[in-house]
Amino acid sequence: MNDTRRTDSLLRPPARRYAGYALDLDGTVYLGDALLPGADEAIAQLRGDGARVVFVTNKTLESARDYAEKLTRLGVPATTDDIVTALDALVLFLKEHHPRSRLLTVTEPLIDSVLTDAGFTVVSEPEESDVVVVSFDRTFDYAKLHAAYRAVRAGAVIVATNADPYCPTADGGLPDCAAMTAAIEACTGVRAEAVVGKPSLHMAKTCLDRLGVPASEAAVVGDRLDTDVAMGRAAGMAGILVLTGATSPADLTHSDIRPHAVVPSLKELL
C-alpha cells in the first residue's frame, strides 16, 4: 500500500459537531509563523455555527496576549480570554495544592512574572523553596540544574508545566519541558509530583471552564496523540487528531491511543 492510500485508510471524520472546541496551536492552527492552509476558514465556520472556540497550548514562552495578537495577525481574531496555556493550569494547580509555597523556578522570566502576579513568592535560594517549577526553558544550564537538585534534596517537590519532549517548529523542533524535567528527575531520583499541562486533567478543567460547556459537548483538536487526544479522552471530551504536525500515519498505527476522529488538517474538520 502506498503512503497516500495508507493515510486515506486511517482518516475518520468527526461523527458530529460540538458546542465547544479546544484547538491546539503549534502544528494544528499554525506552524512557526505561518498559518496552516484552511485553518482560518475552519475556525471562522466553527464560530459562525455558534461553537465556542479556545486555543490551548503547552508552550510557555509567550503570554496569552502574545498568542492572541499572533493569531489575530495571522487572520484568526482572538482575545486573551480565548487562550489557555499551561501557565493557566500551573496557577490553578499551585493555588489548589501549594497555595502558600515558595517557588524556585527553572523557567524563562515570563513565568516568574506570571507566578508573582498570581500572588506566589519566587525565591532564588534553593533551600528556601517548597516547590521547583519546571518549564520549557531556553536558558536552562548547569547552574539551574544544580539549584533544582539542591532544592529537591532539601525537600522541595517538582511540578512541571508539560510533558512535551520537543516543540514542533518549521526547522525541526526545539527540546521542550520534558527534557528539563528529565534532567532534574535523573539527578535527584525524585519524580515530578504533577505535570499540569496537556494531557492532565488540570489542563482539561481549565479548558472546560473557559469553554463553558460540559465535557460531552467539547472536543480537543490537535496534532499529538499523547497530549491532545489523550487529554480529550481522559476528560470525557472527544479527541480529534490532525495530521499537520507531530503525528504521522505510522505513529497512529502503532499507538494505543485511539482518537475519535482523524483528519488531514483543520480544513477538513467540518
Phi and psi, residue 165, nearest 5°: -70, -30
Going by pLDDT thresholds of 50, 70 and 90, the confidence category of residue 151 is very high
Is residue 170 over pLDDT 90?
no
* Helix extents (H) in the chain: 3-10, 39-48, 64-73, 86-97, 109-117, 142-153, 177-188, 201-211, 230-234, 249-254
Q: 199 and 230 in contact (C-beta within 8 Å)?
A: yes
Task: Please indicate whether the domains covering 19-29+49-58+198-270 and 87-195 agree at the CATH topology level.
Answer: yes
At residue 120, the pLDDT reads 97
Enumerate the domain spans of the chain: 19-29+49-58+198-270, 87-195
At residue 194, the pLDDT reads 96
Q: What percent of the chain has pLDDT over 70?
A: 96
The CATH number of 19-29+49-58+198-270 is which of 2.40.30.170, 3.55.40.20, 3.40.50.1000, 1.25.40.340? 3.40.50.1000
At residue 6, the pLDDT reads 53
Give the number of residues written for the chain: 270
CB atoms within 10 A of CB 97: 15
Identify the three-state secondary structure at position 219: strand
Query: Which are the contacts of 134, defined by CB distance < 8 A and separation ≥ 6?
Result: 106, 107, 148, 158, 159, 160, 161, 177, 180, 181, 184, 192
183-210, pLDDT tens digit by residue? Answer: 999 999 999 999 999 999 999 999 999 9
At residue 11, the pLDDT reads 83
Name the pTM for this structure. Answer: 0.85
77-130, pLDDT tens digit by residue? Answer: 999 999 999 999 999 999 999 999 999 999 999 999 999 999 999 999 999 999
**When comparing pLDDT for 167 and 209, which is higher?**
209
CATH of domain 87-195: 3.40.50.1000
